[in-house]
Amino acid sequence: MSDTAATVARPARAPMRAAAYLAPLALLLLVFPYIAPAYQTILLAYGLAFAIAALALNLLLGYTGLLSFGHAAFFGAGAYAAGFMVKYLGVTSMEAFLAAGALSGAVIASLFGIVCVRYTRIFFSILALALSQVLWSLAFKLYWVTGGSDGLRVPTPTLLGGVLGAADDKVTFLSHQYYYYTLVIFAVCAGLMWLIVHSPFGQALQAIRDNEVRAEFVGIRVRRYRWIAFVLSGMFTGVAGTLWGPLNGLATPEALYWPFSGEIVFMAVLGGFRSFSGPIVGAVVFNYLKAYAVGRTEYWQLLIGVVLVILVLAMPEGIIGTLARVGRRVLAYGGTGSAAPRLPDEA
């Protein structure tokens, strides 16, 4: 086969290869509530909500080259949006929650972004962190509005415009109806994010990440593109926070606190922020790891810290990056025998 033919065949095989991986995974997610205990299903619903937040963060980190330590602000804003609608408007529709969460995340990100996108590297990270801490402080101080440290209650909502109401058994509702609802919202958000990063806009973000000066030279308005990416990231993170609200049952200031921003960053890094699916895997793995650590010992922070340090040292490219590297080695050795050529990452 000529080089030209091989180049044409390679992209043609990519969708088929992706479908081969996604089909069994989609089937597993669909039947999961029927083959796993309710507690495991609810944990997976948590993981899917966190995966949306990790994908949103990765739009900045992996595709734009901006590390944000303030994404808890948008996540918490989504959760509080649901709490506000219940307390002050008496609304229990999940669709209304999601609209309010996405809007609140986008509005706050648009305001923060005006200041943040003027800077890069550590200056951007610390500025985003400082602004998010302002919201955390307000959530504590304005206790007559936000409930202070007690937070706001987020009851089980109605789904699909009231077609599916809250069941008498909350565990059953969360592990079945709400799980599938979260799965659909996750699929929609992941699909939209995939379209964004593979669009001309996404290619422009990657150009900014690789070389800001050259990107500006060819006509890309760097600050505007960064601001749009920041707003989109905040909007998706707000959706994630809204999905998390009914699972947690409360919107509390802890959802706005800076350690949670660090957890979202670690989800992306753990899975591999250089790939699209890495943050998704990292979010689910981190959520299960944290849940089991909390259930095993009162010193769960120490346990999870040690485990995560070991994982990062053993897999510096993240879970997806490491699996991809191992897969390339297996294919190389399988195709050429013991005399397989050295791969680029082994040089």
Contact between 62 and 191 under an 8 Å Cβ cutoff? The reply is no
pLDDT for 343 beyond 50: no
User: What is the spatial distance between Cα 301 and Cα 223, in angstroms, rounded to a whole number?
Assistant: 38
Report the pLDDT value the prediction gives residue 3, as an integer from 0 to 100: 45
Report the pLDDT value the prediction gives residue 179, as an integer from 0 to 100: 92
DSSP string over 215-265: HHHTT--HHHHHHHHHHHHHHHHHHHHHHHHHHHSEE-GGGGSHHHHHHHH
- Whole-model pTM: value is 0.86
User: What is the spatial distance between Cα 326 and Cα 15, in angstroms, rounded to a whole number?
Assistant: 21
Helix, strand, or coil here: 153? strand
Q: Which among 238, 243, 189 is positioned nearest to 75, based on CA atoms? A: 238
pLDDT digits (tens, 9 = 90+) for 243-285: 998 998 888 888 888 888 888 998 888 888 888 888 999 899 9
Token pair for residue 247?
């699972």
Question: What mean pLDDT is predicted for residues 138-160?
Answer: 85
